[in-house]
Amino acid sequence: MALDVIVHRKRPAPSRAKKAGKKQRRRRRYYKMPSEEYYYEFRFDDDIGDDMVEVSYEFDFDSIDRYEMLEEFGPSDTDPAVAEARDRSTGETVAVKRVRPSQGDGGAERLCAVVREARCLDACLGHSSTLQLRGMAADDKTGDLFIVTEQLLGSGCGGASTLRSRLTRPFSEAETRALMRQLLGAVEKMHGAGVTHRDINPDNIVVGASGVFKVSGFRCAITPAERFLGEPHPPMGALRYCSPHQLNGLRCYCPAEDVWALGCVMAELLAVAPLFTADAQEDLLGETIDLRDEIVNFGADAFDGVLEEVSLAGRELLAGLLAFDASERPTAADALKHRWFAENDVAKAKSRVVRAYKQR
């Protein structure tokens, strides 16, 4: 059984020139749950201007019967729940995330989220540090949808192991360098596919079954030119990892927002505590402004008080990732070319030379 999900989205038309006197088309609200044809379709009231056109995406879903559930889902009917299962076709153990659009209020929003997450995961296939999508499934009896991914360490109702759970001590600079290389590589792949994550934080960096850290949690992800009808502003990620522009209430969908979040993660790895600690959005914005002033005045030395043992190259990269102006932050690809990563390669080369000499 295949189930089609039709999701209407908008993107800029080839020409943005508005024709004088032309009226905007108005779309009526329409939300349809599973029927005999087993498909979801929804539309929302929205003004379609001359500078926008509508685009539809279709997704085929396998039957959930393809998977043998190895454990039961959690008790919640509305929040996503994750359980382990076995793919009857391949024998692979996978993680299955259930979403129930038909349960409770906000079904349309949950449907938006699950389709967005699936599209972004599909776009990021192939990188070892990005959660790998195995497929999507549906239950034709209940209308439940399922995102199927590779198995995670500790996945299931108890929750997958995350970077947050591993932050029990400061990471060494070498450990931080190795992890940041993985994360920047994943984000480079993501941005190359046109996806901006918008919620990178230690809770959304999970541990795969092989022990490799992987970026997950694409609930807030989006592409710069597209958004779901009915979602004038997609949800914002964890506040302490949001860029100054996001905290200031601007619609920021550009890759530089992910680079800022990676800077926050890098600082937290080294200090074992969040770089920004305020709870209120306005207070967090104030903290980012304070950091901006410190970096402007002292450059890489702005981190001397908390990261004194980190090399100058490491602090330089961190200052770049956390540049207040988004246009001044390096891309993920450029960050990987920073001398901080080159220093590690030189150290490895020297180590190989020393070992070879000792073996003579």
Domain segments of the chain as ranges: 3-15+23-150, 163-346
Bridge pairing between strands 3-12 and 52-63: antiparallel
Is 199 known to be catalytic? Answer: yes
**Longest Cα pair distance anywhere in the chain, in angstroms?**
85
Q: Is 354 exposed, middle or buried (0-12, 13-18, 19+ CB in 10 A)?
A: exposed
Q: Which CATH class is domain 163-346?
A: mainly alpha
Q: Return the structure tokens found at 53.
A: 């056109």
Question: What is the second-level CATH architecture of the domain 3-15+23-150?
Answer: 2-Layer Sandwich (3.30)
- Which pLDDT score is estimated for 226? 55
| 252 neighbors 234 (Cβ within 8 angstroms) | no
Can you give the pLDDT of all 360 residues of the chain as single tens digits? 333 444 433 334 444 444 444 444 433 333 333 333 333 343 333 333 333 334 445 567 789 999 999 988 876 654 568 889 999 999 999 999 988 876 666 666 677 777 778 888 988 999 999 999 999 998 888 888 899 999 887 655 556 789 999 999 999 999 999 999 999 999 999 999 999 999 999 999 999 878 889 999 998 888 755 554 444 455 578 999 999 988 988 776 789 999 999 999 999 999 999 999 999 999 999 999 999 999 999 999 999 877 888 999 999 999 999 999 999 999 999 999 999 998 765 555 444 434 543 444
Which of the following is catalytic: 50, 199, 304, 325? Answer: 199
